[in-house]
Chains A and B, each alone.
Chain A
Amino acid sequence: MAEPFYASKTEYVDRALLGFARDHADVVELSTDPVYVRSIDRDPRRQVGLLSGGGSGHEPMHVGLVGRGMLDAAAPGRVFASPHNRQVYEGSRAAAGPGGVLHIVKNYTGDRINFGIAAERLRHDGIPVARVLVDDDVATESQETATGRRGTGATVLVEKLLGAAADRGAGLDELVALGETIVGRSRSIAVASLAQTSPVTGEPGFDLEPGQLEYGVGIHGERAKHTIARPSLEELVARMVEDVVSHLPGGRSVFLFVNGLGGTTYIELYNVFAETVDALASRDIAVERSLVGPYTPALDMKGFSITMTMLEPSVETHPSGGWTGLFDAPAWTTGLRK
């Protein structure tokens, strides 16, 4: 039992957002009715506003990725719950540029429907709107259900790359096409050794015996299909790399994102990262760019995820600088700066 430090049992997300906006008043501003966070600065070349959102508990995603170079606005729901369509709708109206607004949506039924309702309202108002759906989690790839793969860590990479493209003046159609290509070349897998603490009960979200790992865990405390005996880190990473690479198109270089799930130290994450770089090298896959840190946690879950985006040589040698150029482009958010 480790009760969280909340000012209130029910309003803790709102309270945190107030504190966040106060702390980062130079980057964001907060709307409280309905609740959304908006960037106070944007590149003047940007034609299309970018908005994302989803359940809280994954900070810095998404409110911490609002700022010049990435998101124009984010709509946070309650912990692990979709935002209301009105948050997405009003946030989109605030974020839209002359070329409209792009929604970056993780693949969960509630998010799809609430962003979809907001999109219909925006179209009704004459604001061009489109969606990029992120579905990268290979643990949920199944022929049996129509719900498809969950959206997880790849969302951070999609938001970084699309933000840079939007800053170059890309239009809505161009951003959708780029976003769908990036998503199609990005996959993830996550493991956990301890569940997150429930904000309601203060108890672990699920029980796990010592020496066991949830292999393919979700970012909302959804249990994995498999609980495995804990192998060495080298063996674990080799298995995860195999699972991700086997779901990606072929290629020789990747963006590598090692994400902490909230209860994992940087020492651990950099151990994971070093092992992953070696595992990829043994497959003759180079790590072109990397990101390491808890950017998409699940509250305080002890675990990590590995996300890779497979690059295309023909894109990378393009005079525009390819996706690497987008990765390196400036960004000034509270959670990610370049």
Chain B
Amino acid sequence: MLMNLYLEAAESAYGELTRLDQAAGDGDYGDNLREGLRGAVARIPTDADLATEFETAATYFLDEVGGTSGPLIGLLFNDVGGSLDRGGDGDDALVAGLAAGTAAISRVGEASVGDRTMLDCLGPTVDDLRAARPPVDWTMVANQAFDHARATSDLLPRMGRASYVGQRAVGNPDAGAMGMALLFWALAVYRDPSGRAQLPDPARLL
């Protein structure tokens, strides 16, 4: 199950995510991501297809998870689930859903790439996916996603709660962007378990 893998990554990274969010926000990012994934995994039927996994997780994140990031992750899952439901669970529908969800987060959060948010991982990684020739090399994509998330260290926050601390956030990556890199970690292990050793260890993000 994909969401089991994402939960495994979020559990491993919990301490780092919390520390990153404490430096810039209110420190609840790790809790929200972990609690959301725990709730989603508990509700996903064992025989669920990928579309059902995303749709079940979407409802849980949208309805039950606190903070602003929780419902925004729910929006992403909602679009991925819808796309997979319509187009099957191949890479084309997956990439289309990730692109639609990224656009939705940008619209709702009224933020863009460069504002030091989760979009700074999602946006460029979706671009990588669109530019890649099939079949998608998910291990490579996930490694690029971590690079994009780490690059937020240099960005000044303009949106979200981190904007209140301004310059003091610079030097560490954005927790929300790192949380999205973990989604690509899970997708990579889900699609190609043999590539796992070539991915960063979620317990040692920095």
Kindly list chain A residues whose C-beta atoms are within 8 Å of the C-beta of B104.
Answer: 120
Contact across chains for B62 and A113 when beta carbons are under 8 A apart: no
- Say which one of B74-82, B131-139, B171-179 lies at the interface with A: B74-82
B63 within 8 A of A: yes
Verify B110–A120 contact, CB threshold 8 A: no
A112 near B63 (CB under 8 angstroms)? no
> Are B63 and A86 touching (Cβ within 8 A)?
yes
A85 B62 Cβ-Cβ under 8 A: yes
CB of B110 within 8 A of CB of A117, answer no
> Is B71 on the interface with A (CB-CB < 8 A)?
yes
1/0 per residue, CB under 8 A from A, across B153-172: the answer is: 00000100000000000000
Rounded to whole angstroms, the CA-CA distance of A112 and B78 in the bound complex is: 19
Q: How does the 8 Å CB contact mask read for B52-95 relative to A, with 1 for contact and 0 for none?
A: 00000000001100001001101100110010000000000000
Q: Which residues in chain B, 97-131, are within 8 Å of chain A measured between CB atoms?
A: 104, 107-110
Which of A86, A112, A117, A146 lies in contact with B75, CB distance below 8 A?
Answer: A117
Q: Is the CB–CB distance between B82 and A117 below 8 Å?
A: no
Question: In the complex, are the beta carbons of B71 and A117 less than 8 A apart?
Answer: yes
Separation in Å of the A92 CB from the closest CB of chain B?
14
Chain B residues lying within 8 Å of A121, measured Cβ to Cβ, are 62, 75, 78
Give A112's nearest chain B residue, CB to CB.
Answer: B110
Given A113-B68, A116-B107, A124 and B82 contact (CB-CB distance below 8 Å): yes
Total interface residues on A, CB under 8 Å, equals: 13
Residues of B within 8 A of A113 (CB): 68, 72, 108-109
Chain B neighbourhood of A117, CB < 8 A: 62, 71-72, 74-75, 108
- Complex CA gap A112/B68 in Å reads 11
Which of B74, B82, B108, B158 neighbours the largest number of chain A CB atoms within 10 Å of its CB? B108
Q: Chain B's nearest CB lies how many Å from the CB of A85? A: 5
Q: Which residues of B sit under 8 angstroms from A119, Cβ to Cβ?
A: 108
| Residues in A neighbouring B79, C-beta threshold 8 A | 124
Q: Which of A112, A113, A117 has the most CB of B within 10 A?
A: A117
Known: A114-B71, A120-B78, A120-B107. 20 other contacts (CB 8 A): A85-B62, A85-B71, A86-B62, A86-B63, A89-B62, A113-B72, A113-B108, A113-B109, A116-B109, A116-B110, A117-B62, A117-B71, A117-B72, A117-B74, A119-B108, A120-B104, A120-B108, A121-B78, A124-B79, A124-B82
5 contacts between A and B (CB under 8 A): A113-B108, A116-B107, A116-B109, A117-B72, A146-B158
Q: Which residues of B contact A (CB under 8 A)?
A: 62-63, 68, 71-72, 74-75, 78-79, 82, 104, 107-110, 158
